[in-house]
Amino acid sequence: MEHIVIIGNGISGVTAARHIRKLSDKKITIVSAESDYFFSRTALMYVYMGHMKFEHTQPYENWFWKKNRIDLKKGYVEHIDTKNNTLHFAEGDTLQYNKLIIATGSKPNKFGWPGQDLKGVQGLYSKQDLENLEVYAPNNKTCKQAVIVGGGLIGIELAEMLHSRHIPVTFLVRESSFWNGVLPEEESAMINKEILNNGIDLRLSYNLKEIKSDENGKVKSIIIEETGEEIFCDFVGLTAGVSPNIDVVKNSEIETGRGVKVNRFLETNIANIYAIGDCAEQHDAIGNRKPIEAVWYTGRMMGETVAQTICGNKIEYKPGHWFNSAKFFDIEYQTYGWVWAQPKENEARFYWEHESGKKCIHMSYDKNTLEFIGINNFGIRMRHEFFDKVLTEKKTIEFVLEHLADANFDPEFYKLHEKDIVAKFNAENNTNIQLKKKSWKRIFQTN
């Protein structure tokens, strides 16, 4: 029986395993050094905040794996012998495979800052990171001050986490406004405000120079590059993005760039070895996507796809329209299609913000053809299916605005803003778009 070995029990590896099991009877082994069972990395923040216990982050009960004949091996792979199809573990043992899937995920970026490996300095990615957080920042007595370096999604999550335990946080962001490499100015400004409203000491356009140690090898303070200011702290979160975790591949025949190089079929340069998820790097980017995508659902989709290929239905990885979501303190964010931080040559923009300053939508469309390109929605939920269809069928911005009631996904009885939104667009563009009433028929495409 063919033996499929998967390194990494994150969303990519586990999805691949589940789908291979659905499609075949192959022997499947998942190898991980991080945890016994699959857990949802995205939920670690909620464990620290006391919303959930660690076991709640595990999407499958512990019996699931045995029942589905997916073997779990806890171990750290030291070397992949591609000639003999063998994994060598740090613990000394080995494992033979017929096909190998590398799904080792990411690791937090460290840019060679002095002191970046001190005690109390860490990223937020793994289960071990969560455990260390409990050691160095369990409360505001042990941790009187925390500093976070890097203004992305994980940085703001970490700020929210520490804030939930009443730990004062200084948040160093390299950019002039939060996440403005991704978000347009207006949305970025809205999130700056949200961060400040939550009592976080947000420092924009600030870089880290170095992290200083106390006599025990633990962080004592940080120095800011621009001002030379020293901030005394007990914890430093390094959240300046992530990069592929490919140490395991480094000394093998497998081709790497920043990640493990793969073609559209998620195949590496070695015939029976595949790579999926955060650690995979496309030779050529797909559409407007980046060659490496460290996103939850792309990992899952690669897992879904590679399972087909491995089970004899060779299929390209072709992700559909871009979408994503996040939450910034109390403001939820979703996006469908592309809304670049800076409009491209052919793009026009429409922005609407609610008077509360906690809700907005930002749409991008083609200046000439009016084709809808993308939407950012903050504080308002939108239907994925609606926008996926709009993008596939290349509908116009006018169509989207007319059908905005169909697109809304807020809970029942929420105050709806479609009328305001359409009115603002009409006023700005001299159009006469009429909002259509919500139609179940259209939403569920029934006839």
Partner 1 sequence: MKTIQNIGLALFLVGLTIFTSLIFFGKYEVTPEILENLINNKGIKSELFINTMNSHVVGKEFTNPFSFSTEITSALKSTNETHKQNSEWDKLIWDKPHSLSYEIAKHSGNGLVKDNKWLFWWLTFGLGIIGALMYIIPNVVVKGPPGIKNNGIWFNAATNRGWIGWFAFVFLVGFYLLLYFRPDYIVNWTYIVDPISESLSGNLASQWFLYGFLYCTVMTVMAVRMYIKYRHNKYQTLRTTSVLFFQIVFAFLIPEILVRFEKPWYDFKNAFPLDYDFFFSWNLNELIASGGLGIFILVWGIVLTLVIVPVMVYFFGKRWYCSWVCGCGGLAETLGDPYRHLSDKSLKAWQLERWVVHGVLVFALVMTGFTLYSYFSGTDAVLGIKTQTIQDIYGFLIGAMFAGVIGTGFYPIFGNRVWCRFGCPLAAYLGIVQRFKSRFRITTNGGQCISCGNCSTYCEQGIDVRAYAQKGENIVRASCVGCGICSAVCPRGVLKLENGPEKGRINATEILLGNDVDLMDLVNQK
Question: Coil, strand or helix: which one is 419?
Answer: helix
The CA distance from 120 to 124, in Å, is: 12
The whole-angstrom separation of Cα 417 and Cα 179 is 26
Strand partners, 365: 348, 372
CB of 305 vs partner 1, minimal distance in Å: 7
Which residue of 35, 57, 104, 239 would you call a contact of partner 1, by CB under 8 A? 57
Which of 168, 319, 343, 357: binder of partner 1 (CB under 8 A)? 319
- For residues 105 and 10, the answer to whether their CB atoms sit within 8 Å is yes
Q: Does 355 bind partner 1 (CB under 8 A)?
A: no
Tell me the C-alpha distance between 165 and 163, whole Å.
5
Rounded to the nearest whole angstrom, what is the least distance from the CB of residue 284 to partner 1 in the complex?
A: 17
325 touches partner 1 by CB under 8 A: yes
Convert 347-359 to b/e letters by CB count within 10 Å (16 or more is b).
beebbbbbeeebb
Q: Would you state the structure tokens that stand for residue 425, as one six-digit string?
A: 């667009």
Contact between 91 and partner 1 by CB under 8 A: the answer reads: no
Using N-to-C axis directions, what is the helix angle for 11-23 and 296-310, rounded to 10°? 30
From 68-76, 89-97, 172-180, 328-336, give the range in contact with partner 1 by CB under 8 A.
328-336
Check residue 124 for interaction with partner 1 (CB under 8 A). Answer: no
Residue of 25, 59, 290, 367 interacting with partner 1 (CB under 8 A): 59
Token reading at 275: 């790579």
What does the block give as tokens for 352? 């609407």
Out of 216, 430, 437, 440, point to the residue binding partner 1 (CB under 8 A): 440
- Shortest distance, CB of residue 113 to partner 1, whole angstroms? 30
Separation CA 431–CA 425 (nearest Å): 7
**Cβ of residue 56: shortest distance to partner 1, in angstroms?**
5
CA distance 5 to 286: 27
**What is the phi/psi pair of residue 310, to 5°?**
-65, -30
Strands 219-224 and 208-213: antiparallel
Of 374-403, which residues contact partner 1 (CB under 8 A)?
A: 381-385, 388, 392
User: Least separation, in Å, of the C-beta of 41 and partner 1?
Assistant: 9
Is 342 near partner 1 (CB under 8 A)?
Answer: no
H or E element that contains 261: strand 260-262
Task: Mark the segment that binds partner 1 (CB under 8 A) among 96-104, 219-227, 276-284, 301-309.
Answer: 301-309
By CB under 8 A, residue 315 contacts partner 1 = yes
Q: For residues 181 and 320, which CB has a smaller minimum distance to partner 1 in the complex?
A: 320
Which of 86-94, 228-236, 251-259, 296-304 is the region at the interface with partner 1 (rule: CB under 8 A)?
296-304
Distance CA 416, CA 436 (A): 13
Q: How many residues does the chain have?
A: 447
Asked if 168 touches partner 1 (CB under 8 A), the answer is no
Among 46, 136, 365, 425, binds partner 1 (CB under 8 A): 46
Closest distance of CB 40 from partner 1, Å: 4
DSSP codes joined into one string, 28-67: EEEEESS-SS---GGGHHHHHTTSS-GGGG-SS-THHHHH
Please, which of residues 234-293 interact with partner 1 by CB under 8 A? none
Nearest distance from C-beta of residue 304 to partner 1, angstroms? 5
Rounded to 5°, angle at Cα 144 from 140 and 147: 110
Q: Which of 414, 420, 423, 434 binds partner 1 (CB under 8 A)?
A: 414
Q: Which stretch binds partner 1 (CB under 8 A): 141-149, 269-277, 298-306, 359-367?
A: 298-306
Region from 26-34, 81-89, 426-434, 436-444 binding partner 1, contact rule CB under 8 A: 436-444
Measuring CA to CA, how many Å separate 439 from each of 294, 403, 420? Answer: 36, 9, 19
Work out the end-to-end distance of the chain between its first and last CA atoms, rounded to an integer number of angstroms: 47
Nearest CB to partner 1, comparing residues 236 and 326: 326
Residues that bind partner 1 (CB under 8 A): 11, 19, 22, 40, 42-43, 46, 49-53, 56-59, 61, 164, 197-198, 296-297, 300-301, 304-305, 308, 313, 315-321, 323, 325-327, 329-330, 332, 334, 381-385, 388, 392, 409-415, 440-441, 443-446
